[in-house]
Structures are given as structure tokens and as C-alpha cells.
Amino acid sequence: MIWWSALPARARDERAHLAELAERVDWLDGVTWKIDGVRLLANFLILVGDTYVPLTLRYPDYFPDVPPSISPTEDVRLSGHQWGKGGELCLEYRADNWVPTITGAMMVESAHRLLSGEDGEDVPPVPSAHRATLGQEVRSSFVRFALSAEAEAALKALPEGEITEAVLVEHKFGETWVGSLGRLGPKDSVLFTGPPALEGATNYDAIAYRVPKAMPLLTKFNDETLPLALEMYGLGEWLKAAREKKVGFAILITDTDVVMPSFFVGEKFRALDYQVVRIPLAEPRLPKGYDNMASAVVGIVGCGSVGSKLAASLARSGVSNFLLLDTDVFLPGNIVRNELDLRAVAVNKTKALKHRITEINADASVQLRTILFGGQESAENTASAMAALAKCDVVIDATADADVFNLCAAVTKAERKPLIWGQVFGGGVGGLIAMARPDIDPPPQLARNQILGWYADQGVPWDLGIAAGGYDAERGSGPPLIASDAEVGIIAAHLAQMVVDRLLVRSPSGFDSPAYVLGFKAEWIFQGPFDTYPIQYIAEGVWGPAQEANVAEDLTTFLSELYPEVEGEG
């Protein structure tokens, strides 16, 4: 957008306001206008003390909705309120308080107040209105030291003037090398241990050194100053040994600061000044009671689009114990709506999803059953999987496959465990979330039959994936049903809420109904997005293992027939 071509009258006003200011004050001179490329700018001189300072006013493409900037015409540092050498000045008017009625002339007046307010040795510094965020402070660094509050406390508890063995754990992510304190103290006398290392991280030998109070702590280092500083702190011998290893990391500590200079030796000695990023103590972000889910075991059958998103959400919510069942392999086409990424291509979804869960919660325990549950699989494998599901506190069927559902229903009914299931309808028109709770709702198979009956009662025929066929069509029954990542995410998020509701045993439940049919667009019975149909079950059926009327008598007869007494004995 070229603002001055769309708003020529405003452009003329900007020129006029600056001309009027130059006539009115004696500190502004030499105003010249030009167009650089398509950007309008004005060069001018401001008198500061006895010196004229050349500055440039630059109008952005989206002026007057976005503020212009003023910076030195030359590559110099003029103020402590400036974005680095040659950078723009931090003025009273900026993006966080800008209104379109502010003019470039007002910006020039602000620049004069800033620079004249800082002129002279006896003049107190101009109060800063700028508060840099953590992101702004570190964005130019590519090597960082993540320092937790616990690690910092351990470092500051070290005795002064003594070298303490340490281990730095480092990984690369997002174009940034990030190090953290993996261990403080020797292996036989550990003072601090960091969280588990991420996959692909590298451990480096390091030292921690608490600088004596009588010595200053340098906070910036380069190739020349780092060796001198280490020698000054009495770390010359360590530096010599580290040079031979071609790499060295030193954590330097005082009562108020922690810095971590490092170096590596290639063709020459090169210092790296790690930017310290302080990690504050964790504050509660999840609702009250979520920490109670850490001991629960959640079984997820199906690690496709819905199942993978559901697992990740539950891991973030505090669930730490999972059982995953699936045999499918992740393929590039799955990327469009699965929680996994391209690293998982050609990997079984169970194994890849376990990796994803532990990326979110490093302490998570994830059991795997990489089998075709409900398909052509050995009876022993199926029985083993069902036995594992029986130990779960909640079971989720994320396959939308009737055969799988029947197995999940059999286990949960017999073991009196909640079963939760969901489905995204073909075409992404909507979906289903449902649960069957022991002694509250009908057993799962009866509950599902009532839902299918509800579909039929609507009297609107539709055959895109409701009555038959798995959502991902993973059993070779046809092409995958069409739905977007957002549509899958809606169902997965609601299912996660339903799982949390059961794990926390909320009474009354946060869900007024045990099943909901959700609309995403105006198709089938839906009038549009957010069109929701709650389904209430009719009481029927009994939870628990199937039992016959004359169990004791028939069991005695069965065992006597199986093991008849040997004639002549007894």
C-alpha cells in the first residue's frame, strides 16, 4: 500500500505541519522531503546544545494507522532510548499508544525533547517509557542458557572462589541453540539435577564458578575479553584444559547475576556469549483438580486424527499414563489433520504418538499395543490388549469402527469403566461425542444403538460416514473421508473435556447429556455452525460381567465334567 497516493491531502498536511514547526521554533532546520522507493521521508536537523543532529523521519506503508519512525541519518548512537546503533529513537508516540491524529511534526517535537533532555553531564536521564519484553530482549541471540529458578538457587548457593563440576545439556530448536543445567556437582555428590534431556540433546562438561564479591562480573564477552576474564577469575588452568578439548562452558555467578560464556576452537578461538533466559517458577495454568489426573490411566484405541489430538491434549492437561492401541503407519497424507509431523512418516502411529506425548510431558508413561484391534490379529494379541484396557480408568474409542467399538464395549461393560467415543462425519459437516458411564448410562453397545436410532429418527437420509465405516478408512474399505484439521480438532477437544469430566468424577457432570451431535456447517440436519443436538439415553441394560441364573450349580457341574473323579479313588 502506498499511503500518500491514497491520501494525498494527508501527505500535504504532513508537509505543512513540519514547515509550520520549522517556522515556529529555532531548533529545527534543514527540512527536505523525498520519496525513497515508495516510502515518503523527511531529513531534518535538530539543534541539541551547540550541535545540529541530522535525523530522518520515515513514514510507513500503512500510515496513518501505523506510527512513523525517527532515526539518525548516520549510523550512530544518540540516546539510551534508541534501538541500537543507527536504530530508531524510542519516543513518546509509538505502536502501543498511537492514534492516527498524531502527526510527523509531533514526532519531531518528541525527538527534540528526548535528545535535549539527555544533553549535558549534569542533566538527569530522561525517564524511559519503554519496557522491553523478554522476546524483544533475546530475539537477536542464537545461543541461550535457559535458567530455571531452582537451578539459579543451586548455583547461587555455591561457595565463592571454588570450581564446581557441572553438565550442560544443549539442543537446537527453532534456529536457536538452547542450553540448560543438567547436573551440578560430581556424580557422587550431586547438588542439582535438571529435567530429563530432550531427544537429540548433547551433554557437555562445564564448570560453575561463584565469583568472589571483591571481583567484578563481566556480562559481555568476545574473543579477546573472555580469556582475560577467565584468567582474572583464576580459571586459567581450566581454560588451558578446555582449549585442548576444543570447547568450554563456564557458568559464572554472583549474588545478583548469572552469565554463561563459552568458546570453541576451530581455526581460531571463538567466544560465544550465551543469552540467559530466566525461567520463572511455574504458576498454575490448569483448573483446580487437574493434578489429580496424574495417576489415572487412559486407554486410547486409534491414533489417527482424532486419537492423536486427543492424546496430546490430555498430556497437556496433566494425564501422565497412557495405553495406545493401533497398528497403522503414519504416511505423508496423514499430516493434514494428525497431531504428528513429517518426522513420523513410515513409523507406527503408536510409537510416534508416544514420542509426541513425551515431548509434552517428559515424565509420561506410555504403554503400546501395536496391533490391529478388532481385525485379523492373533487371539492372544487381542486378549492381551483387552486385558490391558481393563486396567485403564477411562477407555476412548477414536476409530469410529464398529468392530473396534464392540471390543471396547465388552471390556468396559465387564470392568465397569467409562467408555468415551467420537466421530467426525464425512465432509466435515459435524460430528459426534458420546460417553457411557457405569450405572448411570446404558452399557456402551446399548447406548450406541440408541444413538443410531436417533440418527434414523431424524428422517433425513445421509450416508457419509455415520452408520458404517471408520473415519480414517484405515482397513482398506475405501478412501479417507473428507474433513479439515479444524473440524477434527473440534471433536478431539470436546472429547478431551469429556475424558477430564470422567477422570475427575465430577458430580454433577459438566455435560448435561451423555451424547451430542455437533454441526459445523449447514448440511444434513444442521442449520449451520454450532447447531448442537444433545441426546438423552433411555435407561436399559446392566453393567458388569455377564452372569447366568444358576452360576454356582452350573459351574460345579462344568468342573465335575471337566475333571471327573478317577474310579477307585476318593
Helices then strands (H, E): number in the chain?
A: 14, 20
Last residue of a domain, one of 77, 108, 128: 128
In a domain, 408, yes or no: yes
Instruction: Classify strands 176-184 and 192-193 as parallel, antiparallel or unpaired.
Output: antiparallel
Q: What pLDDT was estimated at residue 419?
A: 98
Shared-domain flag, residues 206 and 230: yes
Shared-domain flag, residues 271 and 304: no
Shared-domain flag, residues 63 and 152: no
Enumerate the H helices of 2-96 as residue ranges: 3-6, 8-24
Integer Cα distance of 33 and 237 in angstroms: 61
Does the predicted TM-score (pTM) go above 0.85? Answer: no
In a domain, 555, yes or no: no
In a domain, 27, yes or no: yes
Domain count, the chain: 3
Question: Domain with 103 in it: what CATH number?
Answer: 3.10.110.10
Here the cell at position 142 is 542464537
Q: What pLDDT was estimated at residue 471?
A: 41
Q: What pLDDT was estimated at residue 427?
A: 86
Q: Classify residue 220 by burial, with Cβ atoms within 10 Å: 0-12, 13-18, 19+.
A: exposed
Mean pLDDT by 10 residues, the chain (570 residues): 91 95 93 93 93 94 94 88 86 88 94 78 48 79 94 95 95 93 95 90 95 88 91 93 92 93 88 92 84 94 96 96 96 94 96 96 93 83 92 96 93 96 92 96 97 91 53 47 91 97 92 97 93 97 80 69 59
Question: Domain with 461 in it: what CATH number?
Answer: 3.40.50.720
Shared-domain flag, residues 416 and 510: yes
Here the cell at position 267 is 581455526
Shared-domain flag, residues 35 and 147: no
Shared-domain flag, residues 477 and 350: yes
Integer Cα distance of 249 and 518 in angstroms: 56
SS3 at position 408: helix
In a domain, 50, yes or no: yes
CA angle 334-337-341, nearest 5°?
60
Q: For residue 64, is the peptide bond before it cis, meaning its omega torsion is within 30 degrees of 0?
A: yes
Last residue of a domain, one of 230, 250, 279: 279
- H or E stretch at 117: helix 104-117
C-alpha closest to that of 290 among 71, 137, 496, 448: 496
**Angle formed by the axes of helices 485-503 and 305-317, to 10°?**
50
In a domain, 547, yes or no: no
Shared-domain flag, residues 365 and 495: yes
Give residue 407's domain range.
294-535
Shared-domain flag, residues 245 and 372: no
Strand partners, 412: none
Shared-domain flag, residues 376 and 449: yes
SS3 at position 122: coil
Q: For residue 508, is the peptide bond before it cis, meaning its omega torsion is within 30 degrees of 0?
A: yes
What are the two backbone dihedrals, phi and then psi, of residue 442, each rounded to the nearest 5 degrees? -60, 155
Shared-domain flag, residues 428 and 520: yes
Q: How many CB atoms lie within 10 A of CB 417?
A: 23
What are the two backbone dihedrals, phi and then psi, of residue 517, each rounded to the nearest 5 degrees? -105, 120
Shared-domain flag, residues 26 and 72: yes
Integer Cα distance of 432 and 488 in angstroms: 11
Shared-domain flag, residues 51 and 113: yes
In a domain, 570, yes or no: no
Q: For the sheet with 365-369, list strands across it.
A: 365-369, 321-325, 297-301, 394-397, 419-424, 430-436, 515-519, 532-535
Residue 470, Ramachandran bin (φ over 0: left; ψ between -120 and 50: alpha; else beta)? beta
Residue 290, Ramachandran bin (φ over 0: left; ψ between -120 and 50: alpha; else beta)? alpha
In a domain, 561, yes or no: no
In a domain, 288, yes or no: no
Say which amino acid occupies 270.
R
